[in-house]
Amino acid sequence: MFSKILIANRGEIAVRIIKTCRRMGIQTVQVYSEADAGSLAVEMADEAVLIGPAPAAQSYLLADKIVEAVRQTGAQAVHPGFGFLSENAGFARRLRDEGIAFIGPNPEAIEAMGDKISSKKLAAEAGVSTVPGHMGLIETPEEAVKIANEIGYPIMIKASAGGGGKGIRVAHSDADMAEGFAAVKAEALNAFGDDRVFLEKFIIDPRHIEIQVLGDKHGHVVHLFERECSIQRRNQKVIEEAPSPLLDEATRAAMGAQAVALAQAVNYDSAGTVEFVAGQDKSFYFLEMNTRLQVEHPVTELITGVDLVEQMIRSAWGEALAFEQKDLKINGWAIESRIYAEDPYRGFLPSIGRLVRYEQPEEGEQDGYVVRNDSGVREGDEISMFYDPMIAKLCAWGETREDAVTGMARALEDTHLSGLGHNVPFLAAVMDQERFKSGELSTSYIKDEFPDGFHGLRPTVEQERILIASALAMHEVIAEQDGDPSDRTDWIVMIDKTPHGVGLSYDEDEEMILTLTGGGDIRLSDIDWRPGLAQFKAELDGEAFTAEVKRVADGFDIRHRAARARVRVLRPHVAELYARLPEKAVADTSKLVLSPMPGLVVSIPVVVGQEVKTGETVAIIEAMKMQNILKAERDGVVKAVGAKDGDPVAADDVLVEFG
């Protein structure tokens, strides 16, 4: 077995690989850019080698630097993780030529299946169902528009070398196609160094289901069942689960058989994923094959008990698979939520900065569920604009899907982050939705359920009880600490502007009993909170919960899952005064186009004095390797332009002002 492996990646996947290597007794070398010098992966690895500045094109994408680090440290193999050089056949071939093992598939398999155009042709030849489309290279927007009209809208524009949700647009018209084609080519060149683009028919109301395959160098290939990855935003997976709530045993077996056949056709000898688009009627079509480890691999590991990173290492060493297809079984259900540094209240835009606080849920077996948290950052680390804004992959396993959903919701409650925007409230909202609980998923789920964006959810009756109890309990703790305990038994707890009358008493065990004016008692016990803590933990009528809390001048900001409110504990006569306070006027920004995120200005294609119509592009901002096209929301004449091409901008910087 290898004695030393170099990890040509960063973040949570580097940490993930290090953990398996430690368990196998293998030393690790972590390469890093200047931006990652103080990273968790660098801290955990046995050795670390600086390979360049922060931009990936000057560090993680440089094969010369990786090979030099291998030679410098005496590593025998390279694990590329996902992204960067993981699907670069030239890199894999170079390592092989230099006598360095590549922990991934052979370069011929990467070449055959890593290219989205050639892989579809191979799939069709192997008898795999494929989506109608145009697999040939397309050079100009005009050519793309012509082909799109032959196939019929809607059309998906995809980068041939794409992955990770980047280099993808859906066009519904000729105008969409022309603009989207140019944007995808630019993104593809920037992210992958390859601007080839192809088109395929976009399936209405589709589901994204993928099959995990695993092969060795002795011709053996198995599949480890499926993952459902339909909850996506901008073609980027957000929530994944295994198995899929759509599939029956017959469909699962058919998809698995096709995936294995395709892998065998190219002599696949590592972990890989065959992706399908599935209709609600269980029809399915081949999309692409990712010749690498997937971000969402933990859910497969949780339901099968197979460590995919270990199997990749063993395969690269030359070992045969130690199990056959008949040995693999599905055990329980697992869900993964991708926690990103992005602000769901601002259209899910990237929110880079320092992770001031990061409290993670306890891993391992909990009350009816199991928690796994794959994270590559710690409290105090900075989320950089140069890389994907992922903070962690939070997973929950349960014996049933209902158990897994319940476990994920509780694990999200126990996750606290501050210092930057994050999507935990949104993830929690999905877990609480009846549609998600029913398993009625599609890739348009987020757009369907949150058509106007995410603004949080109104508290349910149960959540109102949590907000009331938490606020009153914290109020009592603070009063006791300040040496000013009150003997009042009647309070008004205001949730935003809505008053709730509450009577307070204690039982013989000093547990709080709250009697609501509207009827019913609340028993609050096992309180775990003191001033300064960001999480309030307790049991409400015997059910454990965690709320995110912050003390403010006149009360508390409290969030439970997706419900967030300003909560005040007031004497009755003070509550009457609060009810009369006028609402604060909201600033008028209707004539401004603001940068929705920190990033770099790619272009601002308007000038002072220009007349602009609704829907016209007024700015393109690049952040997290994605180009974000900003369009005018109203007709108007440009009064001022606040930035120029290449300028760095912060969130809310004025880009364009209309007269």
For residues 631 and 622, give the distance between their C-alpha atoms in angstroms, rounded to a whole number. Answer: 15
Phi/psi of residue 198, nearest 5 degrees: -135, 170
Alpha-helix residue ranges (DSSP H) falling in 266-394 = 297-304, 308-317
Cα 459 → chain centroid = 25
Query: Of residues 87, 228, 288, 464, which has the active-site annotation?
Result: 288
Nearest-CA neighbor of 83 among 106, 108, 57? 57
The bridge status of strand 77-79 relative to strand 4-7 is parallel
Is residue 93 packed enough to be buried (19+ CB in 10 Å), middle (13-18) or exposed (0-12)? middle
Q: For the chain, give the longest Cα–Cα distance.
A: 81
CA distances from 503 to 291, 500, 514 (A): 62, 10, 6
Q: Is 275 a catalytic residue?
A: no
The bridge status of strand 364-365 relative to strand 370-375 is antiparallel
Handedness of CA 474, 479, 480, 485 (dihedral sign): negative
Give the DSSP H or E segment for 22.
helix 11-24
Q: E strands within 416-562? A: 416-418, 490-495, 498-506, 512-516, 521-528, 535-540, 543-552, 555-560
Cα 338 → chain centroid = 3
AA identity, residue 309: V
Residues involved in catalysis: 288
